C-alpha cells in the first residue's frame, strides 16, 4: 500500500512539474513608459482610440443616442467633438482612404467622416460578437476579432474570414475577453485588468506587459506607436471625464 501511495505521489509530482515546464515563457518587457494622457469627456464609456491625419479620435459606447466622435491634437488637446449616434466598440483611421471606421455594438462596421457629419454601414454582419472590440492592422489590411480565446482574422476590404486561431491565455472577464489591439508585429490581449499578454500575428506567445494601473476592458487600443488603455468615465447620459493613457513599449 505504501509503495502504491509513493508511486501515485511521484506521478502527481511529475504531472505538476510538466505543467509548470509547459507554462508560457516569453520576453520580459520593461515597464512601459507613460507617454501621453488624454482627458476624454464622454457619455457612458470610453471605448476606443485611433490616430490619423495628425489627430487622435475617440468613440464612446453604451447607448447609440449618446455617441460622440471626439478629436484631439497630437499633444492630447481637445480640437472638436461631434454627435455620432453610434454605440461604438472600436475605431480605426485607415491611411489608404483617409476614412474612419467604427465597429458598433452589433456585427456591422461603419464608415465615418472625420468631421462626424456622416456615418453609414460599410460591411454588415461580419463580426461574430455584438460586444467585441476588434483591432485593425496599422496598414488597413486586416481586422482581428477576439472572442473568448479565439482570434478571427478578417480581410478589411470585404470582411471575409481569412483564418482563425486560439491563444493560450487571456483574462476571462466581461469586456476584457472580447478586446484586442494590434501593432504591425504583435497582438495585445488582456492578461489581467493591469497586465497584457503579447502574441505574434500567428498567435504564438511572446511575453507579458505589466501596466502601472488597471484599465477598462473594452478600451484596449494601439495607435501612433502607443498601447492605450482608458480609465472609464462611466458617465451615463450626464457625461463624465475618462482618461486615456498611451504607453510607449520599451
- Per-residue pLDDT of 162-209, as tens digits, reads 999 999 899 999 999 999 999 999 999 999 999 999 999 999 999 999
Residue 101 to residues 108, 127, 235, Cα–Cα distance (Å): 10, 14, 24
* 174 C-beta neighbours (distance < 10 Å), count: 9
The whole-number pLDDT of residue 118 equals 86
Distance in angstroms (rounded) separating the CA atoms of residues 207 and 27? 4
- Collapsing DSSP to helix, strand or coil, 2 comes out as helix
pLDDT at 244 over 90: yes
Mean pLDDT value of segment 55-69: 97
**How confident is the model at residue 13, as a pLDDT?**
40
Cell of 201: 500575428
Binned at pLDDT 50, 70 and 90, residue 28 comes out as confident
Residue with the bigger pLDDT between 90 and 15: it is 90
Q: The domain 30-248 is classified under which CATH number: 2.60.40.10, 3.20.20.20, 2.120.10.30, 1.10.40.30?
A: 2.120.10.30
> Which sequence spans correspond to the domains of the chain?
30-248
Predicted confidence (pLDDT) at residue 70 exceeds the cutoff of 70: yes
pLDDT at 104 over 60: yes
- How many angstroms separate the CA atoms of 241 and 138, rounded? 28
As a whole number of angstroms, the distance between CA 137 and CA 243 comes to 24
Amino acid at each position: 500500500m505504501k509503495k502504491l501511495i509513493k508511486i501515485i505521489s511521484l506521478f502527481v509530482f511529475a504531472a505538476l512539474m510538466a505543467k509548470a515546464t509547459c507554462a508560457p515563457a516569453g520576453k520580459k518587457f520593461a515597464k512601459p513608459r507613460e507617454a501621453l494622457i488624454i482627458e476624454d469627456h464622454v457619455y457612458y464609456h470610453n471605448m476606443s482610440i485611433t490616430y490619423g491625419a495628425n489627430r487622435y479620435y475617440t468613440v464612446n459606447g453604451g447607448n447609440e443616442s449618446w455617441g460622440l466622435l471626439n478629436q484631439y491634437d497630437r499633444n492630447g488637446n481637445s480640437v472638436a467633438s461631434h454627435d455620432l449616434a453610434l454605440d461604438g466598440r472600436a475605431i480605426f483611421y485607415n491611411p489608404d482612404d483617409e476614412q474612419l471606421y467604427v465597429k458598433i455594438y452589433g456585427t456591422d462596421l461603419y464608415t465615418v467622416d472625420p468631421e462626424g457629419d456622416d456615418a453609414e454601414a460599410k460591411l454588415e454582419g461580419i463580426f461574430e460578437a455584438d460586444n467585441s472590440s476588434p483591432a485593425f492592422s496599422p496598414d488597413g489590411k486586416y481586422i482581428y476579432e477576439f472572442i473568448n480565446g479565439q482570434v478571427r482574422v478578417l480581410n478589411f476590404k470585404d470582411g471575409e474570414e481569412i483564418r482563425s486561431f486560439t491563444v493560450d491565455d487571456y483574462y476571462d472577464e466581461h469586456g476584457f475577453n472580447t478586446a484586442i489591439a494590434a501593432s504591425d508585429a504583435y497582438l495585445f490581449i488582456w492578461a489581467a485588468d493591469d497586465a497584457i499578454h503579447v502574441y505574434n500575428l500567428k498567435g504564438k506567445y511572446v511575453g507579458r506587459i505589466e501596466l502601472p494601473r488597471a484599465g477598462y476592458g473594452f478600451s484596449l487600443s494601439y495607435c501612433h506607436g502607443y498601447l492605450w488603455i482608458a480609465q472609464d468615465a462611466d458617465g451615463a447620459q450626464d457625461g463624465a471625464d475618462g482618461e486615456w493613457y498611451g504607453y510607449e513599449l520599451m
